[in-house]
């Protein structure tokens, strides 16, 4: 048997490639019945994700430690997997006021592949290596490969290059015993089973991937002090809606009047944590920034004495 035939045979055995016979009449169902099938299938995703929470927790702590040391979180994927990584990375700066360098997304085929499929890009091992080398990956960085099949050549080559550079590695796959899982320090293999539409991994597999990425980046940001209690306090104030939210957060956190919150926020350069310390401790911006820096950017030890 040729190598190509072996590859095709192995692909056909993957859970993400199976055909679920209970949906064989899907094209004859009403719109409501199709939606019910999709919704019922999606309800299985959080249960499958819960099976890897212990490993995910280890990864969160490792990534947080790396970021505190100046490291980065880098997602690597192709197609839907790559787009989900790029999306999660893009949402971190406005949500948690981190540099765009802190969380990054690489996609096979480059930026254009976010919007238009680049055929064959996922098979390029050379590009996977080149993209990692271009970033100058360091031991403080964490590289997360994302591949529903767990076998995408671009992703496997990228995580191998990252490990060679000394970085931590993780892999998100929707098949167990995957090549990606075997190649990384932190395997996150969530088997969601056959899709309602066979092989369309933008469905359950995509949802599982999105959940894992969302949980990973959010938990990391909590661990590095980007929240106070369960409040998203270190957001970027870039428009009127977010300014209003920032002022309301300051009122809630410090008990000050709205006018004082508005003045402090502007005086703090629109940094909500800095403004909160200025109000609570009655100090100027410089002193507030020093206090925050000495506590790793965390508000709780300053405001609550934790």
For 71-101, the pLDDT digits (tens) are 999 999 999 999 999 999 999 998 999 999 9
Distance CA 223, CA 217 (A): 10
Task: Report whether 153 contacts 122 (CB < 8 A).
Answer: yes
In Å, how far are 95, 216, 217, 236 from 246, measured between CA atoms? 12, 25, 21, 9
Decide if pLDDT at 58 tops 70. yes
- % of the chain residues with pLDDT over 90: 85
Average per-residue pLDDT for the chain: 93
**Bridge pairing between strands 142-146 and 103-107:** unpaired
At 260, list the tokens: 């004082």
Distance CA 223, CA 62 (A): 10
- Tell me the average pLDDT across 33-38: 96
Residues with active-site annotation: 91, 122
**Residues 6 or more apart whose Cβ sits within 8 Å of residue 161:** 128, 129, 132, 133, 137
Distance CA 32, CA 227 (A): 40
**Of the candidates 38, 162, 146, the residue with the CA atom closest to the CA atom of residue 83:** 146
Domains contained in the chain, CATH given? 11-223 (3.40.50.10490), 240-303 (1.10.8.1080)
- DSSP at 141: -
Say what the pLDDT of residue 200 is: 87
Decide if pLDDT at 164 tops 70. yes
Say what the pLDDT of residue 145 is: 98
Task: Tell if the pTM clears 0.95, that is, is over it.
Answer: no
**Of the candidates 181, 183, 203, the residue with the CA atom closest to the CA atom of residue 193:** 203
Q: Can you give the C-alpha Rg of the chain in angstroms?
A: 22
Given its phi and psi angles, is residue 71 left (phi above 0), alpha (psi -120 to 50 degrees) or beta? beta
**Residues 6 or more apart whose Cβ sits within 8 Å of residue 175:** 14, 15, 16, 148, 149, 150, 189, 191
pLDDT tens digits for range 247-287: 999 999 999 999 999 999 999 999 999 999 999 999 999 99
Say what the pLDDT of residue 5 is: 43
pLDDT tens digits for range 127-152: 999 999 999 999 999 999 999 999 99
């Amino acid at each position: 048997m040729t190598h190509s035939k072996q590859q095709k045979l192995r692909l056909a055995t993957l859970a993400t490639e199976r055909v679920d016979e209970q949906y064989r009449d899907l094209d004859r169902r009403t719109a409501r019945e199709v939606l019910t099938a999709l919704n019922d299938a999606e309800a299985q995703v959080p249960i499958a994700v819960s099976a890897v929470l212990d490993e995910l927790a280890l990864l969160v702590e490792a990534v947080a430690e790396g970021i505190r040391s100046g490291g980065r979180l880098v997602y690597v994927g192709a197609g839907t997997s790559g787009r989900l990584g790029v999306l999660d990375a893009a949402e971190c700066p406005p949500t948690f006021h981190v540099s765009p360098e802190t969380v990054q997304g690489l996609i096979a085929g480059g930026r254009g592949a976010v919007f238009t499929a680049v055929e064959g890009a996922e098979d390029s091992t050379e590009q996977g290596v080149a993209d990692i080398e271009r970033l100058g990956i360091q031991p403080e960085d964490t590289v997360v490969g994302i591949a529903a099949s767990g076998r995408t050549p671009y992703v496997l080559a990228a995580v191998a290059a990252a490990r060679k550079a000394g970085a931590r590695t993780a892999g998100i796959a929707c098949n167990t015993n995957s090549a990606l899982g075997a190649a990384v320090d932190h395997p996150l293999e969530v088997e969601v089973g056959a899709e309602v539409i066979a092989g369309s991994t933008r469905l359950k597999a995509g949802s599982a991937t999105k959940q894992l990425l969302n949980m990973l980046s959010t938990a990391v940001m909590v661990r590095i002090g980007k929240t106070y209690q369960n409040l998203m306090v270190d957001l970027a104030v870039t428009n009127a809606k977010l300014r209003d939210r920032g002022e309301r957060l300051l009122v809630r956190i410090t008990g000050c009047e709205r006018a004082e919150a508005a003045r402090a926020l502007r005086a703090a350069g629109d940094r909500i944590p800095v403004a909160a310390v200025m109000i609570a401790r009655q100090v100027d911006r410089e002193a507030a920034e020093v206090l925050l820096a000495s506590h790793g950017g965390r508000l709780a030890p300053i405001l609550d004495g934790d």
